[in-house]
Structure 1
Amino acid sequence: MSTMPGVRLPGNSTVGHVTVPVPVPGPGQVLLRMRASSICGSDVRAIYREHLGHGAEAYQGVIAGHEPAGDVVELGPGVTTLDVGDRVAVYHITGCGSCAECRRGYPIGCTAPTRAAHGWQRDGGHAEFMLAEAVSCLRLPENVTHVDGALVSCGFGTAYEGLLRGQVSGRDRLLITGLGPVGLAAAMLGRHLGATTIIGLEPVAERASLATELGLLDVVVTDPADLAGAVGDATNGHGCEVTMDCSGNANAREAALTHTAARGRCVMVGEGGRIDFAVSDLLIHKQASLLGSWVTSLGHMAELLDLLDRWGESPERIVTHRFALSDAGEAYAVAAEGAAGKVVITWD
């Protein structure tokens, strides 16, 4: 039996290199040769540093990596929707297919005990090959790279879904708190969706500098004390019609709510933590909408891949570090510092 190298995350901020059998696709499955497998903040927060061990983030000791893209190299029995050689990104959660959320196209919210996410409960993309369900694989348009596809599999899909939940359009000014990879994605996509002014809050100097260099925002604020002035100047004191927290930080979340305009929409996508805020002042009296958004749907992921091709846009622009699989330890250490853009393991 042929084997391959892979990476598991034992916790305690360590990376484990293992050798495992190359899997064989069963009915409805395909075997992918990995080309890109990016690191998500959730990997660092919930697996690399420690194992949360419960709910959707219960890591089961599998091959890590839930942002995979690769090439189809073998078809399992009954697969007719894909061909060997197809370049694909993978929607990283497999649901039961019959619960209400699955029927809506959101396996992320599947309520069945059989729900399994790549890199969490089933083997992910940090190996030379990966098994995927054919239904979870989306062909990459010609001008969308493997790295682009990997980033869409979670981070950019999450940002896009949040923007859709916030109904961002050319009528809106957008505030983003937290300019890590998801925040940068929100800025990039928010501009294409029509946001007229984009303001970002990011106290980490390296990430604020990257956002400025990429030219994705109109204003980048590094000191939270300066945010009120920046938003006030950009909106004539009215606040932003749409705000999005991509940080998970309690203060940043409250800042997003505070600077949401009357009848505006505040979307939260940053995971973890808690928040305590003045409900009457920040929500009820402003008649604002507070929305949660979790990853995206299969349909919206496919839509985003198509839009990136039509827009001539590349998520790969926010990648600051690339590593080989053999250097996964260094890759995770860089991602865990919280100062980089996107960190990706590649085979190209």
Structure 2
Amino acid sequence: MLAAYLPGARNVDLREVPDPVPGVGEVLLATKASTICGSDLRAIYREHLGEGPEAYQGVIAGHEPAGQVVALGPGVEDLQIGDRVVVYHISGCGLCADCRQGYQISCSSPERRAYGWQRDGGHSDLMIANRRDLLVLPDSLSYLDGACVACGFGTAYEALLRLDLSGRDRLLVVGLGPVGLAAGLLAKAMGVTEIIGADPSPERRELAERLGAATITVSAAQGSEVDAAIDCSGAGAGQLSALQNTRRWGRVVLVGEGGRLSVDVSETIIHRQLTIHGSWVTSTVNMADLLERLDRWGLHPADIVTHTFPLAAAAEAYQLADSGASGKIGIVWQE
């Protein structure tokens, strides 16, 4: 089968490798869609950070896959050949407190392995996944929808849950990349009627307005005085903007990875009585809830995908994603 690896220095290495065979508790999937995440770009494509949960171990890339079940390993009895599934992209120990709550992302066991980082991911014709990491995809959602949920939409949904949003809130979304677009669309579905999107890229601002992910867009948020803000930029300036443009007693969630934040804590946070959350991906519980709600809302995450490529053109796909001027980029397989 064909598989893509990320050796660093903005290169993509395509290789022919043997087809995998599922073991006990594992499932073999025919990959149907595998989208590109900003974390892939920041921590693997451009360079290899090499430490902690972002340590890339030279495996098949791609941590946002969706696919179809083609074989079941011993002990897997609740799925059938042909089932359509989304892969939750971290496989934890299954025993720690975080895993028991569905937050495998926060598993602290040395057994923790992320698809596309420490174990083979979805940039391949076939992939192996643990049964406990799979969520069934509703019939109304496409494989590309599912791939978008696997990380980006799941991450945005978790962050919005932390903000406890309602129709009373005026929301600021800082950074209109794929996660910011997801946050805007989900907030709208959750009843928020006024969403300010901030991004220096005119292409991304135009896309956010066209998709309805923001009611108004600006190149930089200034004096917004919103009730709640979410930073999806992963940049220190964006994170500070989210804090400074939230009203007294407001709520802020930081979800964009990376960046260093320098802030006058007393003036910006303490005296203004802000509540600040850090939110990292989501849980399998909330991802399952999101899939069900997307079905009811009639919302398709793939709407934020602006370009798709076959696996053979993965290098071109990564180059475009790294340009920062597009929406979500997907690698797809023909049905």
Per the shorter chain, which TM-score range? over 0.9
Q: Which residue of 2 aligns with 1:303?
A: 289
Q: How far did 1:194 drift?
A: 1.4
Taking the TM superposition and a 5 Å limit, the aligned residue runs for 1:41-190 are 41-190=38-187
| Equivalent position amino acid for 1:9 in 2 | L
- Asked whether the equivalents of residues 81 and 134 of structure 1 are also in contact (C-alpha less than 8 Å), the reply is no
Q: Which residue of 1 aligns with 2:257?
A: 271
**Which blocks of at least 5 consecutive residues in structure 2 are unaligned?**
none
TM (norm. structure 1) is 0.95
Q: What percentage of residue pairs aligned between the two structures are identical?
A: 57
Q: Which residue of 2 aligns with 1:342?
A: 328
**Which blocks of at least 5 consecutive residues in structure 1 are unaligned?**
232-238
Cα distance between partner residues in 2 of 1:139 and 1:21: 27
Cα distance between partner residues in 2 of 1:34 and 1:25: 14
Stretches (4+) displaced over 4 A: none
Q: How far did 1:242 drift?
A: 1.0
Q: How far did 1:189 drift?
A: 0.2
1:73-125 residue CA offsets vs partner (Å, 9 max, x unmatched): 00000101211100000101000011111111100000000100000000000
| Equivalent position amino acid for 1:228 in 2 | Q
Q: Which residue of 2 aligns with 1:235?
A: none
| 1:255 and 2:241 are equivalent in the alignment | yes
Cα distance between partner residues in 1 of 2:329 and 2:50: 24
Helix, strand or coil: the match of 1:228? coil
Count of residue pairs brought into register by the alignment: 334
- Asked whether the equivalents of residues 185 and 212 of structure 2 are also in contact (C-alpha less than 8 Å), the reply is no
- After superposition, the CA RMSD in angstroms is 0.8
1:256-306 residue CA offsets vs partner (Å, 9 max, x unmatched): 001112211100001112101111121111111111000000000001011
| Equivalent position amino acid for 2:94 in 1 | G
TM (norm. structure 2) is 0.98
Q: Which residue of 1 aligns with 2:269?
A: 283
Helix, strand or coil: the match of 1:21? coil
Q: Which residue of 2 aligns with 1:236?
A: none
1:293-338 residue CA offsets vs partner (Å, 9 max, x unmatched): 0000000000101100000000110000100000000000000001
Question: Which one of 216, 221, 225 corresponds to residue 219 of structure 1?
Answer: 216
Helix, strand or coil: the match of 1:43? helix
Q: How far did 1:228 drift?
A: 2.2
Helix, strand or coil: the match of 2:222? helix
